[in-house]
Amino acid sequence: GPVDYLLASRNLVFREGVPGDLRDRVKERILERFGVETDVILRDTEQLQALLDANPFGVPEAGSVQISIWDGSADPEGLRQLLAADHSPDELHPADNALIIRYAGSSHDSKLNNNLIIRRLKVQSTLRNVRTFSRLLEKFGSGDAAERCVSKASHVLSCQTPALQAAAGCTC
């Protein structure tokens, strides 16, 4: 079905039902087209809304709130250690297959970054600004609801490029 994207967000939105092998198909097309192995993380609109509802930080005037999402099972001990650690001035809140992080400054300057999350949890994850999820739901969540949102863990490619759209099978 039709595929859209939110400019510069590295997310693809599928407006109609998606095949069960979507994750593998997108990964294969990216590998074939660009020679890059990457992970594909799927969320539907209800899951995105649940993450926004679980956000205890809101949208701060200073700093940012990011959500790290992953598929699969995170290492329980790594998650426990990550949650128990003092990440001041940043804050961390667990959610379903996600961590909601309030950065006092920039996520790029923090030790609590996605690379740390990947190492501790032993899963591939991707970090997205809470505003990105809000914009995805605003743009695609009503009427013809988006069935799935695809976020890729690699920052090598951007979905706004025509080449990636073609690789992912976009018809938009």
Q: What is the pLDDT of residues 116-153, one digit of tens each?
A: 999 999 998 888 888 888 887 777 665 444 444 555 54
Work out the average pLDDT over 55-83: 90
Range in 4-13, 55-64, 80-89 the model is least confident about = 4-13
- pTM for this prediction: 0.76
CB atoms < 10 A from the CB of 146, how many?
Answer: 24
**Higher-confidence residue: 40 or 78?**
78
pLDDT tens-digit readout, 25-57? 888 888 888 888 888 887 777 888 899 999 999
Q: Residue 131 in contact with residue 48, Cβ under 8 Å?
A: no
